[in-house]
Structure 1
Amino acid sequence: MPATRIPMKKIIDVLRLKYEAQLSHEKIGRACGLSKGAVSKYVSLAQAKGISWPLPDGVDEARLEALLYPPREAPASRAEPDYFQIHQELKRKGVTLQLLWAEYAAVHEDRAYGYSQYCHRYRQWRDRQKRSMRQLHRAGEKAFIDYCGPTVDIVDRHSGEVRSAQIFVGVLGASSYTYAEATYTQSLPDWIASHQRMLRFFGGVPDLLVPDNLKAAVTQACRYTPTINATYAEMAAHYRTAVLPARPYKPKDKAKAEVAVQVVERWILARLRHHTFFSLAELNQAIAELLPPLNERPFQGREESRRDLFEAIDRPALKPLPQDDYVYAEWRKAKPGIDYHVEVDKRLYSVPHSLVGQTLDLRLTATTLEVLHKGRRVAAHPRHGRGRYSTLTEHMPKSHQAHRDWSPGRFLNWARDIGPCTAQVIQQQLEGRPHPEHGYRACLGLLLLGRRYDRTRLEQACERALAIRSVTYPSVASILKQGLDRQPQEADEPEAELPEHANLRGADYYH
């Protein structure tokens, strides 16, 4: 690009002072308001064109400008590249500006721009586009995920209760191909299920999933090392992709998602604002009917649509879906007690007795509970079943040697030191169970109540529990918490005799 030109009158003054006044370049610069370097530049330019002082006859300012700056070939005669097409082609893996320019030059030959001018003009076009378009998204690389701000009301047809539905939005980075659906919540189960339906809609899996920092995706937000929810990370591993959350307070990281959310709000939600929906399925049916027109609508000022770019760019680059769908599972941590069981939702599951006291990972599906130690599965149980305990024989030590310090005899001796009622309650915890160890938790809990309150009160509470025939740990703990052990027990009153009456027939009447 040519440098900014100074007025021709000033160049004439430079030539006059140079040749007529024979001043130095430094003095000419001070006289004309130019730098010493600028004076040298224009003197050299004039010399190169064979111009000195005085100027040739008939050379005015216009003629001098034509001599110093001869007109170049008009840009209109050059073959203008298709900058939008260049921008889309650069999203393909391995495609560079050098390759695209070579293909362009081979077609247009003498009318083609040089490589540097080709790159310069493309970058000028790119910088004039919207901020979100300046990000270069590779084909099949990223899917951006977010929720719309507005919700949609769903009315219960029978009760009239109104419930708000959240609008999930996913968009592929290279083609802007968009998916949307409604769920009742943004909770982890809905979040995972929406991802599965989104990937089926795309028909493949991108390299990266880019969510915002909502709780279902990120358990601990951090600009550099965010902690991904364990279930979300497991789902991503199943689909052979990875999760890269947007940085907190960095909207540019998810500009593509914000644009897609805005498009869904304007193209879908705005059209549904006058509709009344009576079920989530009804709302999702309406959204599904509006998605094809959204994706098939050409971009503003272009002939291509989201679907066109998706078919040409993103679809070939997506990884195939796995044969089996991801099975939803939640992850928790637990530490087994002295009875080598972990508790989940008020049910107890055994683990190998050698792992007592260690923190274990629990993986819970709808039907199964798995126990993992350092990434290795050490136990698996049906999630639901009869009874409160699920105990595998192989998890129990021979003669319970691992728990020789915790034996029924030790619990009974400890209880007898407190009192006979406490001993009787402890005895009942150990009896009537498949294994005595199943009662160890309750025994330990009962005896620890003697430390929290005192031994005398524990004995009185056990006495009352025996009287009311409720000898469980929760019952004894409740008696102590409410102070019922300090209140006198009501004595059983003898049954009052019925008074003599003419209407009383007596037992002989019925013989």
Structure 2
Amino acid sequence: MRKIREILRLKWEVGLSARQIARSLSISHSTVLDMLRRFECSGLSWPLPNIDDAELEAKLYPGNPQGLVERPLPDMAYIHRELARKGVTLQLLWWEYKQNHPDGLQYSQFCQRYRQWRSKLDVVLRQPHRAGEQMQVDFAGDTVPIHDRETGEVWQAPIFVAVLPASNYTFAKAYPAQDLRSWIKAHCDALEFFGGVPEIIVPDNPKAGVTRACRYEPDLNPAYQEMAAHYGAAVIPARPRSPRDKAKVENAVLVVERWILAALRNHTFFSLHDANRAIREAVARLNDRPFQKLEGTRRSLYETLDKPALRPLPPQRYEFAEWRKAKVNLDYHVEVDRNYYSVPYPLVGETVDIRLTDGLVEILHRGKRVACHPRATGRGRSVTQIQHMPASHRRHREWTPSKLRRWAESVGPHTAQLVVTILEEKPHPEQGFRSCLGIIHLARKYGSDRLEAAAARACAARTFSYSSVKSILAHNLDQAPLPGPPDNQATPVHPNLRGPDYYAGGGP
């Protein structure tokens, strides 16, 4: 469903044509047209209302009762032979095919099947570049050595290069690594350097940006795709082992290596900041250097061609977010970096998407956000929202020792004495806490008056426990009168009774 939403966004927000959308998402042109047709027939409008992926799928695919129909396939070898004859076209061959097979393939599928079958020669195509249409990006092969003043160690900083093909206006900057965070940050810096957003970003197939490289259907990293959506651009990766798909940035990488990195080869840099300051000055000189065979410079062409055609930057810079997947545990929490975050308990056992920023943890299920937490520091911490708990857990969580005492005092003095004694005498606080919750359950079952009478009998017998109160109520002993105090009267005087003097004297 993520590609479906991306098709709709590229059509209605970015304004790309169906063929450009198909190239961006590496899907067929007919699939894009079919999706747009389904969207128009669904009665939905853009931007989409607040619906999850299941509702969107039900709107777009209400069902096909007729099912799939097997269509007869054309003879590809015959088509290939006939096309070699003068004047024969694919449209003519399709028309003849439909005469023999009225239920056969439509024209677009007919052409696509043939192109997949045919072994096509690799022909070099000189591509004209429209102003503001593309930004081609890549990491240079060479790096900049950074020296550590304290240890003397040297580490290599990779160089990110971006270029606008129409003007050859170039951006270059060193970064700590070629990981996802540096990849996203480099794109944001390049767009701010150019002062606008192109329609299409053309990268290579690095692991940071493309999770699965494929000639036909590459999968973008969700964070990379989210960054492109934030700026309103489409990402169309170059085909694997096809450098001519991004020939301008390949040439820009050579220029940066020869005119910037080679020129700085004798400089010693002790920080990334110092290296980038020197690279920034060298890039400015490169963009201001006159062309050899054309009039003007990269900067002058950028000012007249690319800059007016670029789309404006969004009000806020993209905040880097990392995407992960996790399964909801039995305790309705998901684990992120050894910390645990709650989700609504009905999602136990479901797989959810997790979006991580520096300060937030967002949890999504089927495209719909179900939880949002502040990101915890350290390890082993649990972040739980009460509304995510089942009702029984929520009631258990809401009780505290002070609240238990206040409740017992509202029932009566003997219940208060019973609860306080249980909380103080139990060897572990959790044991006393659970015993008091059991007494609350007895109050709901038998009523507050009977509980107070049972507590009075339990206190008189010095049996401070839940089981004792439960037994008193179960046997209706709370309705019997309490035993009186012990009789402390003196022994009555009687002539037949022998006193202590008798025994002290040794008897008669």
2:376 touches 2:383 (CA, 8 Å); kept in 1? no
The Cα of 1:222 is off from its aligned counterpart by 0.8
2:135 touches 2:202 (CA, 8 Å); kept in 1? yes
1:362 touches 1:370 (CA, 8 Å); kept in 2? yes
Q: Secondary structure at the match of 1:149?
A: strand
Provide the residue aligned with 1:155 in structure 2: 147
Q: Secondary structure at the match of 1:287?
A: helix
State how far apart, in whole Å, the 2-side matches of 1:358 and 1:252 are: 44
Q: Secondary structure at the match of 2:132?
A: coil
Query: What CA deviation, in whole Å up to 9, does each residue of 1:8-47 have, x standing for no partner?
Result: xxxxxxxxxxxxxxxxxxxxxxxxxxxxxxxxxxxxxxxx
Query: Is the aligned partner of 1:338 residue 2:330?
Result: yes
Query: Is the aligned partner of 1:399 residue 2:399?
Result: no
**Matched pairs, number:** 281
Provide the residue aligned with 1:268 in structure 2: 260
Query: What CA deviation, in whole Å up to 9, does each residue of 1:245-268 have, x standing for no partner?
Result: 000011110111110000111110
Query: What CA deviation, in whole Å up to 9, does each residue of 1:456-481 have, x standing for no partner?
Result: xxxxxxxxxxxxxxxxxxxxxxxxxx
Match of 1:254 among 207, 230, 246: 246
Query: What CA deviation, in whole Å up to 9, does each residue of 1:438-458 have, x standing for no partner?
Result: xxxxxxxxxxxxxxxxxxxxx
Provide the residue aligned with 2:189 in structure 1: 197
Match of 2:301 among 298, 309, 316: 309
State how far apart, in whole Å, the 2-side matches of 1:162 and 1:328 are: 28
Over aligned residues, Cα RMSD in angstroms?
2.7
Provide the residue aligned with 2:275 in structure 1: 283
1:132 touches 1:255 (CA, 8 Å); kept in 2? no
State how far apart, in whole Å, the 1-side matches of 2:428 and 2:233 are: 51
The Cα of 1:308 is off from its aligned counterpart by 1.2
1:132 touches 1:256 (CA, 8 Å); kept in 2? no
Query: What CA deviation, in whole Å up to 9, does each residue of 1:152-205 have, x standing for no partner?
Result: 111011110101010100000111100000012100011111111111100000
Match of 1:206 among 198, 201, 215: 198
Provide the residue aligned with 2:311 in structure 1: 319
TM-score (norm: length of structure 1): 0.52
The Cα of 1:303 is off from its aligned counterpart by 2.0
Query: Is the aligned partner of 1:389 residue 2:382?
Result: yes
State how far apart, in whole Å, the 1-side matches of 2:289 and 2:124 are: 19
The Cα of 1:302 is off from its aligned counterpart by 2.2
Query: Is the aligned partner of 1:349 residue 2:341?
Result: yes
Q: Secondary structure at the match of 2:141?
A: coil
State how far apart, in whole Å, the 1-side matches of 2:147 and 2:288 are: 31
- Counterpart residue identity of residue 399, structure 1: S
Match of 2:355 among 352, 363, 381: 363
The Cα of 1:134 is off from its aligned counterpart by 2.8
Provide the residue aligned with 1:219 in structure 2: 211
Q: 1:181 to 1:385 in 2, by over 3 A?
A: closer
- Counterpart residue identity of residue 299, structure 2: R
- Counterpart residue identity of residue 337, structure 2: D
Q: Which protein is bigger by CA-based radius of gyration?
A: 1
Q: Secondary structure at the match of 2:250?
A: helix
TM-score (norm: length of structure 2): 0.53
Provide the residue aligned with 1:230 in structure 2: 222
Q: 1:170 to 1:429 in 2, by over 3 A?
A: farther
- Counterpart residue identity of residue 143, structure 2: T
Provide the residue aligned with 2:419 in structure 1: none
State how far apart, in whole Å, the 2-side matches of 1:345 and 1:232 are: 21
Query: Is the aligned partner of 1:144 residue 2:136?
Result: yes
Percent identity, aligned pairs only, is: 57
State how far apart, in whole Å, the 1-side matches of 2:142 and 2:189 are: 21
1:143 touches 1:206 (CA, 8 Å); kept in 2? yes
1:340 touches 1:351 (CA, 8 Å); kept in 2? yes
Query: What CA deviation, in whole Å up to 9, does each residue of 1:378-426 have, x standing for no partner?
Result: 101110158721111000011159xxxxxxxxxxxxxxxxxxxxxxxxx
State how far apart, in whole Å, the 2-side matches of 1:324 and 1:133 are: 38
Which runs of structure 1 show a deviation greater than 4 angstroms over 4 or more consecutive aligned residues? Answer: 428-432
Query: Is the aligned partner of 1:296 residue 2:318?
Result: no
